Structure 1
Amino acid sequence: MLSHERVWASIDSLASRHGLSASGLARRSGLDATSFNKSKRLSPEGRQRWPSTESISKVLKATGSTLEDFLRLIEPSGSLRRSVIPMIGLEEAKSAEAFTDEGLPNKGPGWDEIEFPGFGQESVFALEITGDGLRPLYRDGDILIVSPTASTRRGDRIVVCTRGGQIFAHELRRRSATTLEMTSLTKSQEDVVIPAEEISWSARIMWARQ
């Protein structure tokens, strides 16, 4: 199960395997030395804080581990499943015909498939970045594993496509019945507020393969 406790325990296990403390692993990964401190894993109000997919990606690169290695630490019982999930390119994803009214893949022209470790009960698809539209955060050839069914809350990274064909990869600030407010992840982009009726589909970023 992809639980808060097991994800952090897996990061601690990776650190231990390489003779590092949590702080040492963070430094080797190019992150702030306090990023993985136990005090950072809960907010002052007791809310769970999760490591970002980008942080985990940097950890795997720094330790020479794969995503499957990491997921096997989360599920040590050997129950890790691999699934074939639909994949679509960034430009093709701008077409309303590529998705159902619920924002799920409407498999047909433009869709391909990719093998990836399972994400439990969530519906997921792969979004292949093409071009420089989401630079510098995501580059041409990167693959985002996203879920249109996963619950979202303030601070989650999401991808949103408007009915006009614009795609944003931002941080969720607030979602109401009438608008979606997002915070830019880079200095080169602006914060965005999108009326709900202008949203074609949206999905939470579960993983980034760069």
Structure 2
Amino acid sequence: MTHEEIWRALDALAAENGLSASGLARKAGLDATAFNPSKRIGADGRARWPSTESLAKVLTATGTGMADFAALVTGMAALPRGRGGLGRRIPLIGLAQAGGEGYFDDGGFPVGGGWDEIGVPEVGDPHAYALEISGESMEPVFRDGDIVIVSPGAPIRRGDRVVVRTQKGEVMAKELKRQSARRIDLRSLNPAHPDYTFDLAELNWMHRIVWSTQ
């Protein structure tokens, strides 16, 4: 467990509640600057941990269990299986279908009538959607039949698992390895498959995966 993973989990928790890092701090009754980037590095230049008290207040304020937060630290939270009876319904489509025309608008948001629906825990992003994995190309991280919940509005950092759509219509789930002002490097989740490098102009959009069935 690293400092970066803890702070990334806090950012993810904020995004899933429709908040900024400052908004999350205020919701927990903390100073609005408590989770600012400047507070994540000490005066000596070393990375700082958020206090245990701050974490406890955040978890209480958002109704998040310790196990759920620990899952966010690893970059993935567990979504209960089943397609109903949860806090909200969002669009669902197969990953293999997502490369077709008519499922996303120019901004990468789901459109059209070809989507199914799935019940999920509350996700703050109103544009969140779900993709059902098919095949073995993303094993062992995602397996055939797993469902991933994708948030177009969630912040993305190196090491996050993402879904990207290329200008050619390819849709793939990868891990963000590196991003510069012009290029993006993606790591394949299955080590038997190659990594990818794209010019940013080759991509329509990139969205972060925030939940999955396991």
Normalization by structure 1: what TM-score? 0.60
Out of 54, 59, 73, the residue aligned to residue 51 of structure 1 is 73
- Pick the aligned partner of 1:89 from 80, 85, 94: 94
Amino acid of the structure 2 residue aligned with 1:199: L
Distance 1:194 1:47, change over 3 A: farther
Q: 1:193 to 1:122 in 2, by over 3 A?
A: farther
State the Cα RMSD in Å.
3.2
Separation (CA, whole Å) in 1 of partners of 2:161 and 2:49 = 17
Matched residue SS, 1:197: helix
Matched, 1:131 2:131: no
Q: Match for 2:186: what amino acid?
A: M
Percent identity between the aligned chains? 38
| Residues in 2 aligned to 1:153 and 1:4: alpha-carbon distance in whole angstroms | 13
| Gap regions ≥5 residues in structure 1 | 8-41, 61-65, 68-80
Match of 2:165 in 1: 161
When residues 191 and 45 of structure 1 are mapped into structure 2, their CA distance, relative to the original with a 3 A threshold, is: farther
1:96–1:163 contact (8 Å) kept in structure 2: no
- Do the aligned partners of residues 189 and 131 (structure 1) sit closer, same or farther apart at CA in structure 2, a change above 3 Å counting? closer
Paired residues of 1:134 and 1:168 also in contact (CA < 8 A): no
> 1:45-194 residue pairs with structure 2 within 5 A?
45-46=47-48, 50-54=72-76, 56-57=77-78, 82-109=87-114, 111-121=115-125, 123-194=127-198
Deviations 1:114-164 (A, max 9, x none): 111111245310001123332332121100001112111112111112233
Deviation at 1:180, TM superposition (A): 1.8
Higher relative contact order (CA 8 A, sep 6+): 2
**Separation of aligned partners in 2, 1:145 and 1:184:** 18
CA deviation map 1:66-107 (0-9, x unaligned): 59xxxxxxxxxxxxx811101111121012421011100013
Is contact 1:96-1:200 (8 Å) kept? Answer: no
Pair 1:4 & 2:10 matched: yes
Q: Measure the CA separation in 1 of the matches of 2:138 and 2:207.
A: 15
> CA deviation digits over 1:39-59, x for unaligned, max 9?
xxx9952377951254x54xx
Query: What is the one-letter code of the residue matched to 2:122?
Result: G
Gaps of 5+ in 2: 1-8, 14-39, 51-69
User: Offset at 1:188?
Assistant: 1.3
CA contact (8 A) 2:137 2:190 kept: no
What is the SS of the residue equivalent to 1:168? strand
Moved over 4 A (4+): 47-50
Q: TM-score, normalised by structure 2?
A: 0.59
Question: Quick one: which amino acid aligns to residue 202 of structure 1?
Answer: M
